[in-house]
A = this chain, B = another copy of it.
């Protein structure tokens, strides 16, 4: 039996009861003969409360100090978890990101992990302890300042530690039973996926599935660390994410892994762009200079009569204002007619490696949407994903129609088990 890294999110350790429940689960893994390293997030609302305090003393909290503040959250939860485990008669030691050797760059509030030197953690587990590590945080390589990893940082900590410690598996405990073929809040008949490849999981994550973040899956793929996403409440087997199925996991990959949707984006259309070289470059250079990440980009064939074309792209709604401002400044240079901004859109994506070798997928997808009366506004595809933009109002119906069309519905909706008693 090798080493296992387990990660528990804030909702799993929201209060003393939650911490005690997690302690029992951790001890179980230890009793089964594993070396256990646990990565833990801040308790429930702690981070929000700290952010609120910061806002009270300063309208724009400085990055370095903001990180120092936020990291108090995991310090509390990890120490409490270690105490709860010791109370069950097992040895446990907690470690900050810095003590655990999580080395990052110096970009406060969204630092990237550069290296993990887990000497103290390895020593601690070799001595028979359960090691508890603060998620979401590290220490900067050059200045030795405390940093935080940004959204989903604790998952990334867990995967990075798993890689550095050569773990058998990285178990991500959350408040749902795993990755589903669609969001179970929208599709009652969504099925839990037993196994999914890194590639498909990456596409789902970047298409709106929120169970795992793109960054964490990317890290796991690079170091080939199998992830097991499961519920800290139910204790059921969850979803394995890895290169190849293992053990009793299905040997054949499904044609379609799942349907994801995303309503957090808006659409910008630059209308009447002269169809000549360099125009698109000017537009997207302006967007890039404003530090805005864009998603889908679509350019129509220009109308023969006018020589003008439209360029549309999607971006997070939160970046909308900045994008319009940046584009307005290029108007004279590009010579476009007007800008249109639309935040009442949804993106629906079908993900599956099988679509590479199954030519009918695209047709079935569009037919399903058409039969449901859903209009398609933009289309964009990758090798293993098709995404469309529709009206936001249509999103639920569209997702359900596609889910059914690809035979993803479970036989009953009993199969969808939500995370027990927790949030």
Contacts and interface: CB of A to CB of B under 8 A. Distances in A.
Given A56-B16, A99-B144, A62 B75 contact: no
Could you say which of A19, A59, A68, A92 has the most chain B C-beta atoms within 10 Å of its C-beta? A68
A371 to B, nearest CB: 54
Query: Range of interface residues on chain A?
Result: 35 or more
A396 interface: no
B53 A16 contact: yes
B53 A65 contact: no
Interface in A34-62: 50, 53-54, 56-62
Contacts of A99: 144
Contacts of A71: 75
A65 B87 contact: no
B64 A80 contact: no
B68 A78 contact: yes
Given A58-B86, A87-B58, A53 B76 contact: yes
A119 to B, nearest CB: 11
A104 to B, nearest CB: 16
B59 A86 contact: no
Given A19-B57, A94-B68, A62 B76 contact: no
Nearest to A57: B84
Contact of A76 (B20, B69, B78, B94): B69
A72 interface: yes
A208 B245 CA distance: 70
A91 to B, nearest CB: 9
Interface string A72-114: 1101101111111011000011101001000000000000000
A126 to B, nearest CB: 15
Contacts of A92: 65
A93 B94 CA distance: 26
A278 B99 CA distance: 52
Contact of A80 (B69, B73, B79, B96): B69
22 contacts: A16-B57, A23-B57, A53-B76, A54-B79, A57-B83, A57-B84, A58-B84, A58-B86, A59-B87, A60-B87, A62-B82, A62-B83, A65-B82, A65-B86, A65-B92, A68-B79, A68-B82, A69-B75, A69-B83, A71-B75, A96-B146, A120-B144
